[in-house]
Amino acid sequence: MLIRHSVVYIAAKLLPGALGMVTTALLTRSLPPEQYGLYGIALVIMSLGATLVFEWLGLAYLRFARGQTDPALAVGTFVQLFRALLVLGVLAGAVAVIVLPRGERAIVAAGLVLMASYASFEFRARFHVAGLAPQAYLRMNVSRAALILLAASAASWLTREPVWTVLATASATFAGSYAGGRRPSGKGFDPALARDVLRFGVPLAASLALSSATGSLTRGLVGALGSIEALGLYTAAFVLVQNTLVVLSSGLASAGFSLAVHALETGNAAAARRQLAANGALLLAVLAPASLGMALTADSLAATLVGPDFRAAVAVLTPWMAAGAFLSGFRSHYLDHAFQLGHRMSGQIWVTASAAAVTLGLDALLIPRMGPRGAAIAVTAGAAVAVVHAVAAGRKAFAIPLPLAPAIRVGGACALMTVTVLAVPGTGPAALAGKIGAGTLTYAAAALALDVIGLRTQLVRRLRRVGSLAGPAA
């Protein structure tokens, strides 16, 4: 079930990621860096606001939904909590808009609209993940990405204004939330469940808020210590690289985490750990070559996917951002599960705090000297510190197995892939296609030969089964 569902969840992230790359390519050609920097401010508001107010509730639903004896009451409880948070978020945002200078109100208000639509989308998506309905999740994500491509690109070309581009993105996001069909029906409100959710969710919200605030402050420092144009360059690379890899790791973790929770809730801790080991191996097997591939093809990606004004900066930032996305994706979507499964969310807060301290400290030191590249280096260093901290602290909450043997096999396959990709010359679109094709084929062949995540073993088993079925008929 893990492989079957994960394939769909990966598609639910890869296909929108590809459409998102096309959207970025078009927006960086219709909006200059300074205007794209304003668009980036709206994305910061969306990310920070949704994480502060809503993201923890969606994760709490994944943790609690499968253990409830009355699913309809559980859904009703979470819906009521979401609505209350939405009202609080809108009210807080309205106050912020009123006190801001007049020239900044429009983009901030648009960012708040985008935040609300994004939060609604992600909350509805959690119902499909918790219900093990990957096809509905796929429809939602692909529909959203396709609608954003059409709406945001049209708005940017027609108006050349970031505010209208943000509003078009928000409208497309909200419309995409209905593509998965109706969510599970719910009614009523369970105060006891709400208290359990808040007890679990408040520390989680603090950790997520600290992490999101760190990323948002980093982008804010790029603009404050550099310029809005520098923020536009950083945002283009961030959307192209980090968002693609982070959403990929999220898709990989969606099926596996729900299965591990189910095993744990049924009292089978050993099965939960076996499931977690499989989750970690799969995450490494896909995220590592994807991150490395983006780093190796940085020049070609920049030459192909972003406008001329963005290319030099994106090419420099991509390797650092790919490394940071790999580290943060593995920590957030595997190592941090120890704190969530063990109900020791205070440990996750300290891990996030250590990453924030390193990142922001290096931001202040490196951004004035190196600009956006200094910010990317700082984020990567903070992510590395957080991984080490999470490995040490997570074992005190819930003993998640470290996929060391799969990591060695994945590393060998990635080494062979690196040699192949570097052997392909050029930086244009044709060279990019050649590098992707050659790297993918090499990694797939090496992964099969090295039996990464048991691929060769499963293939041999299936061939033997087919042979045994065909034998008597012959």
Q: Which tens digit of pLDDT belongs to each residue from 173-202?
A: 988 888 766 665 667 788 888 888 887 777
More confident position, 134 or 411: 411
pLDDT the model gives residue 474: 45
Q: Classify residue 441: in a domain, yes or no.
A: no
For 38-42, 252-256, 339-343, 377-381, which range has the lowest pLDDT when averaged over its residues?
252-256
Q: Are 287 and 453 in contact (CB under 8 A)?
A: no
Q: How many domains does the chain have?
A: 1
Model confidence at 296: pLDDT above 90: yes
Whether residue 192 lies inside any domain: the answer is yes
- For 297, half-sphere exposure in the C-beta direction (CA atoms, 13 angstrom radius) is 30
Structure tokens belonging to residue 121: 């989308």
pLDDT at 345 (0 to 100): 73
Q: How far is CA 12 from the centre of its chain?
A: 12
**For 371-397, what is the mean pLDDT?**
91
Within a domain: residue 447?
Answer: no
- The pLDDT of residue 395 is 83
228: in domain: yes
CA 301 to chain centre: 20
How far apart, in whole angstroms, are the C-alpha atoms of residue 436 and residue 421? 8
Mean residue pLDDT across the chain: 82
Q: Return the pLDDT at 166.
A: 93
- Amino acid sitting at position 103: G
The predicted pLDDT at position 412 comes to 93
Is residue 96's pLDDT more than 80?
A: no
Q: What percentage of the chain exceeds 70 in pLDDT?
A: 88
Model confidence pLDDT, tens digit, residues 6-48: 566 667 667 787 788 888 888 988 888 888 888 888 887 887 7
> Which is nearest to 204 in space by CA: 73, 391, 54, 383?
54
279 touches 260 (CB < 8 A):
yes
Residue 331 has pLDDT above 60, yes or no: yes
Name the pTM for this structure. 0.71
Does residue 454 lie within any of the structural domains? no
Chain segment 51-76, per-residue pLDDT in tens:
776 777 777 776 676 666 677 787 78
Distance CA 398, CA 343 (A): 9
d(CA 124, CA 133): 12
Domain containing residue 173: 2-402
Q: What's the average model confidence in pLDDT over 376-390?
A: 93
Name every residue whose Cβ is closer than 8 Å to that of residue 251 and which is 6 or more positions away in sequence. 6, 9, 10, 12, 13, 14
Phi/psi class of residue 132: alpha, beta or left (left: φ > 0; alpha: ψ in -120 to 50)? left
- 273 found inside a domain: yes
Lowest mean pLDDT among 122-126, 237-241, 260-264, 388-392: 260-264
pLDDT digits (tens, 9 = 90+) for 122-139: 878 777 666 656 777 788
Q: Does a structural domain hold residue 421?
A: no
**Residue 181: its pLDDT value, please?**
63
Q: How far is CA 310 from CA 29, 201, 301, 428, 431, in A?
A: 9, 39, 11, 15, 19
* The pLDDT of residue 418: 95
Q: Quick one: average pLDDT of 142-160?
A: 91
> Does residue 116 belong to any structural domain of this protein?
yes
